[in-house]
Amino acid sequence: MLSVRLILAIAKIHKLNSKAIDFVIAFPQADLEEDICMKLPIGFQVNGQTEANADRYYILKLNKKSFGLKQASYNWYEKLRISLEDRSFKPSKIEHCLYLGNGMIILTYVDDCIIVGPSMTKIDSL
């Protein structure tokens, strides 16, 4: 994976602006593609009964991703990738977390990214 330091060095050498972004609660923003159910958490009550003393078992169907799901990071990346490609950014053929387009560079990693561009106005408008 490309180093953040390398991207920032390129920005400095070419006198470009840069901005780091941390997508807060990124994984839960990704859409579910399949039904995912879970047992009720300990202490959760349905009709005044806890799951431990209920005469039936209840399950919950999740509407959004959770950080603990193994596919959560993949679904977040897919949502980000589609969003960037809709804005005319193309992924590098060598490094799939690097996007180029509109005179800017975007390096993504987990739920963070570095955007390098000619002006802060252009970066902020993205």
**Shared-domain flag, residues 78 and 116:** yes
Question: What residues are paired with 19 via a beta bridge?
Answer: 115
Instruction: Mark whether 44 and 103 lie in a shared domain.
Output: no
Same domain, 45 and 94: no
Residues 123 and 105: their CA atoms lie apart, in Å, by 10
Domain coverage including residue 114: 4-30+65-125
pLDDT tens for the chain, residues 1 to 126: 567 888 889 899 999 999 999 887 766 666 667 777 777 777 777 776 655 555 566 677 776 656 566 777 787 888 889 999 999 999 999 888 899 999 999 999 888 899 999 999 999 998
pTM for the structure as a whole: 0.69
Same domain for 94 and 69, yes or no, is yes
Same domain, 19 and 52: no
Residue 86, domain CATH: 3.30.70.270
Tell me, what's the pLDDT at 4?
82
Identify whether residues 121 and 97 lie together within a single domain.
yes
Asked if residue 112 lies in contact with residue 19, where contact means CB atoms within 8 angstroms, the answer is no
Is residue 26 located within the same domain as residue 42? no
Among 64, 86, 106, the domain boundary falls at: 64
Using an 8 Å Cβ cutoff, are 64 and 32 in contact? yes
Question: Is the same domain home to 78 and 109?
Answer: yes
- Whole-number Å distance between alpha carbons of 42 and 19: 42
Domain identity same for 118 and 72: yes
User: Is residue 114 a contact partner of residue 18, using CB atoms and an 8 Å limit?
Assistant: yes
The count of structural domains within the chain is 2
Clarify whether residues 58 and 108 are in a common domain.
no
Nearest to 58 by CA among 68, 44, 70, 76: 44
Burial class (CB in 10 A: 0-12, 13-18, 19+), 9: exposed
Answer yes or no: do 83 and 25 share one domain: yes
Whether residues 40 and 24 share a domain: the answer is no
